[in-house]
Structure 1
Amino acid sequence: MSEIYRLAEPSDAERLVDVIYDAYITIRELELQWPAAHADLALVEENIVKNACYVLEKEGQIVATLTLSKETTNRWNSEYPFLKWFAVHPDAQGSGFGTKLLTWVEEVVIRDEVGASAVTLATAEKHPWLLNMYERKGYERIDAIDRGNGDGTMYLLRKIVNPHLYHTERLGHHIGGTR
């Protein structure tokens, strides 16, 4: 029962196309305009090269993936790292692999390696279960926008992964802003 958490490599791209495409069926059915929902091999390869694309392998098979964006700016202008392209292959959904990978990225990568106090991600209000799932996992809504592209209301969610650092940063912003 070996589980391996690691960065994706270009040789993983073909398997990741299958994982992402199969996992994003609801996104396509809802006609959400998310690049990952229609990702082809070239787009997955680009994601692996340009970002930090993590995978969870079970018994040598990639069962889940999650990307930490390395874009210097994102649509939300968030000061915190931004996660995207979260997918669990349908054959592995409900097994806890998605939660394991998300928690590992939040704690090992975001909190410990990056040294960030919080992490963000975005999801659509019209998706039947994603918003509630993220809120159960400790994410809170901090912004909302409707870009007029058919996605409806999109929420930016934040999870504090290092409470002490987060509160120290907030105190620093508050003190700095009153001078």
Structure 2
Amino acid sequence: MELGDYIAAVPDFPVPGVAFKDITPLLAEPEAFRRSVDGLLELCRDWPVDRIAAFDARGFLWGAPMAYLRGVPLVPVRKTGRLPRATVGESYQGEYAPETVEIHDDAVTAGDSVLLVDDVIATGGAMRAGVRLVERLGGTVVGCVSVVRLTGLGAAEQLSGYRVASLREYRAPRG
């Protein structure tokens, strides 16, 4: 089974010139989804992980089963204003607009090894914001994993010095 067969390119979404990578066909096929979760777990099999931090909202789809199967806590990385207790936040320039993500201020403790998980790494801005949040709370980022990575949009620079792994890579068209 080739996971790329379950990732659809949607031209000119959400803006002209963007070829959006749609993972919903992968979610609609249970075996493909299972293989994607297993594949992400395999990418980081030997990494020491105390917690998995997953991004709102599609990153939750992979982060939650990964945390369950690894037997570690899940840290939700949410868009600003969505967590009910005290938080720390980090702003960044998203693909289309400025964004802010937050985690609870007690979600990571000093010395924790944290794996960051999302569906797609594009510019690397969200992932870099997650790195900053984990490190601000005293944790160590052991790596950043995603189902899809779009190359050529700056993520390599944003995440320089961190392990980054994905199941599928696509070269983003130059704009």
Same fold (TM over 0.5): no
| TM-score, length of structure 1 as denominator length | 0.30
More strand by share: 2
More helix by share: 1
Structure with the greater alpha carbon radius of gyration: 1
